[in-house]
A and B are shown apart, each in its own frame.
Chain A
Amino acid sequence: MKFGGSRDQEESDKWEIQLRKGCLELAILAALRGGKLYGLEILKRLESESDLIVSEGTVYPLLTRLKSLGLLRSEWVESDAGHPRKYYTLTAAGKERAAEMASIWERFSSSMSKLLAPHGKAK
């Protein structure tokens, strides 16, 4: 019985991880909608505003991939700290993709909320 319980927990943990992963690309594009940011700023924003705890070693390769897909553009900017930082901005295609993903997300989450609401009340 105990075994079954921990297995359930494991399954829901796995599900949560998948869910978070699926949102990572949207989260990065959304974070950049406010303007240009460099890698560490994106990471901080994801942590503080989205509760998405992400591995640093994943965000940088993902940024490179989004750039090679033409969704992001990058530029090196000198910083006060004395070293250059790589800033990312959304390209037109990136903005389009972010808007598209956001509308899918909104549709999906509102329909899920509708589905989940009566169940929540019953409990």
Chain B
Amino acid sequence: MGAILVQHEQVACPTREGKMMNLGSDAQHRIEAYLTRLRRCLRVLSDEDAREIVGELRSHITDKALATGEATTTGVDTALATLGSPEELASEYLTDALLARAEVSRSPARIIVSLFQWASLSLAGFFVLLASITGYLLGILIIVPTILKPFHPQNAGLWVSRGSDGDLAVSLRLGLGGGAVPVDARDVLGWWFVPVGMVVGCGLVMLTTRFALWCARQYRSSRALPPG
């Protein structure tokens, strides 16, 4: 796998050998190990984008290491430390890509796919993914019965009933056959359930998208400056 990646890079940067004369092989190895990790985190981007990013960072790290006057592992380590871990760096590229993609399409499916990638790299991404899945699921759970209401008017909708113990029970029914509505249950919204449910459900989906993008933006700007 590593060999394949290195081979790829050679296409992007045909004069890699020139740099090798300046940097020791240990230093080279460290750079490649870092870039391989980065590349793995960026696999969801297009091949060309990932190659550009990796090539640019290789050039940056080499320049930084050579500038310290130590073309050794120490110089490389310093350069790598100021860049942050490959996972952190990849998170920034991925949240950027998520925001850029969202400008083209706000489809929840695409957002969830992007969030999965982000979640695999950072805890922040994981929580945003969890919250977004919850938001979208709730939204869909409300939208589905509004669509089914015309077909199963006696079943789909928002029902209130008094249980055997006297407690008031509110239930949202999908209308997908299944359990019958209790005899004493009252259809709270009646046909109003269709427009109200549609607005609430779609609103929830839209809010979730906004929330996910807001989080990505917050994450992005929270990392604009070096810590401390």
**A64 and B93 within 8 A (CB):** yes
Cβ–Cβ contact B52 & A57, under 8 A: no
We find that the number of chain B residues with CB closer than 8 angstroms to chain A is: 38
A54 close to B57 (CB less than 8 A): no
The 8 A CB mask of B69-110 against A (1 = contact, 0 = none) is 000000000000011100011001100100110000000000
CB of A21 closer than 8 Å to a CB of B: yes
* Per-residue interface assignment for chain A, residues 79 to 91, with 1 indicating a CB less than 8 Å from any chain B CB and 0 otherwise: 0011111100000
B62 at the interface (CB under 8 A from A): yes
Number of A residues contacting the other chain (C-beta, 8 Å)?
29
A54 touches B18 (CB 8 A): no
Is B21 close to A, CB under 8 A?
yes
**Among the listed stretches B134-142, B166-174, B188-196, B217-225, which one makes contact with chain A, having 4 or more residues with CB under 8 Å of it?**
B217-225
Knowing that A54-B224, A83-B16 touch, tell me 18 more A-B residue pairs with CB under 8 angstroms: A21-B224, A40-B64, A56-B82, A57-B82, A57-B84, A58-B224, A60-B53, A76-B55, A82-B15, A82-B19, A82-B22, A83-B18, A83-B19, A83-B58, A84-B55, A86-B52, A86-B56, A86-B59
Return 16 A-B CB contacts under 8 Å, by A number: A17-B225, A21-B221, A21-B224, A24-B224, A39-B60, A54-B226, A55-B224, A57-B84, A60-B60, A62-B96, A74-B52, A82-B22, A83-B13, A83-B16, A85-B59, A86-B55
